Structure 1
């Protein structure tokens, strides 16, 4: 991986981490997107195809949804289609911190580029599943319904009241597991078609 890329990535994270910590607290780093951002830095510096593949599977589709929601909000004058980017228009959050959150626009493409350069580990999703589910459980235990990290208390910014919190958490875990499985299937299919014959580390 180019040194300039690693250095720029490191510099950005060095700015984001203290800013996010002051504004949101440490629990905010349990968001899967933040996990992928920090993990992507490690994947780049250690040039780990397995770690890059795990993180790509974890956040590719949700990050694309974030991008779609944000672009739509620009057209709709701040209205969020999915409730994903409402915080980007919250004046109670420092503008600088909200600008840092624009990393979502690049994250899926950075991870795709890492996987393109390093190779796609098709077995990485199996390693990610227990890690991802553990992060969801920690989000439930350490966050609050008001913070609603990873939407483990309900969709969007509000806690749900349709079922017990524990049942909702199980539903979120099942949904995410299915989403990760679908993502790895799509990635395997697309990368095989783009790259041609599958190299050993992609089998």
Structure 2
């Protein structure tokens, strides 16, 4: 059997790797290590893993987790450009206290969904992604809720993230008050599963299937023995 050729362009691997080589240290310096608990940053790192391993599961997990939120991010950004406030996901993109370079790096939110669709199309969709991402996403929510700064926390550096993954509400300046905090957290985690993850899973499964079930054409040695079943008997 001949070795399978790479399914992903080497140039794409280099471009994404170069971007991460710049983004990761810059984000670490400006936002701190807790910024990498955001769903989108985790999804970007999973995309990097999928690129180099050419495994479907990391790409599938990232696609299940952030395709819908990233569409909302893009819509919110376009709304802010035209002074239409939607959900406030991209307010930081218009914060003049952050450099244009730092804000420019965040445009990965715009191209990441297209990268993920490309990866899943090439590698296939792994149905285990729904369970795997849900476990990961919920774990990130619990870490953010119990160990990270809540909404409204005043930090010495305003760029350090608070209310990571919106576990305290959609306003970073004030925690939500319409539900007790633990109940809101449970509702938020359930909402992520039912409104974001499951619909994405169903669409991706329908469009791209399971890589394990795809037929792969491989070359066979010319001298392979052909076994024929004739009349219930085996002839070689």
TM-score, reference length from structure 2: 0.78
| CA distance 1:126–1:162, change in 2 (3 Å) | same
Asked whether the equivalents of residues 23 and 93 of structure 1 are also in contact (C-alpha less than 8 Å), the reply is: no
| 1:27 counterpart = 2:48 | no
- Which residue matches 1:133? 138
| CA RMSD between the two structures | 1.6
Partner of 2:115: 110
State the shift of 1:123 in Å.
2.6
Check conservation: 1:48, 1:118, Cα contact below 8 A.
yes
Instruction: Determine helix, strand or coil for the equivalent of 1:111.
Output: helix
Deviations 1:152-186 (A, max 9, x none): 01113231122222212111111111121121112
Quick check: 2:59–2:116 contact (8 Å CA) kept in 1?
yes
1:20 shift after superposition: 0.8
Q: Write the distance in 2 (CA, Å) between the matches of 1:201 and 1:28.
A: 37
Q: What residue is the counterpart of 2:181 in the other structure?
A: 165
In 1: Cα distance, 2:90 partner to 2:58 partner: 27
* Structure having the higher Rg: 2
User: Residue 182 of structure 1 corresponds to which residue in structure 2?
Assistant: 199
> Which of 71, 95, 101 pairs up with 2:106?
101
Aligned to 1:156: 171
Count of residues in correspondence between the two structures? 195
Unaligned runs of 5+ in 1: 193-197
The structure 1 residue matched to 2:11, chosen from 4, 26, 29, is 4
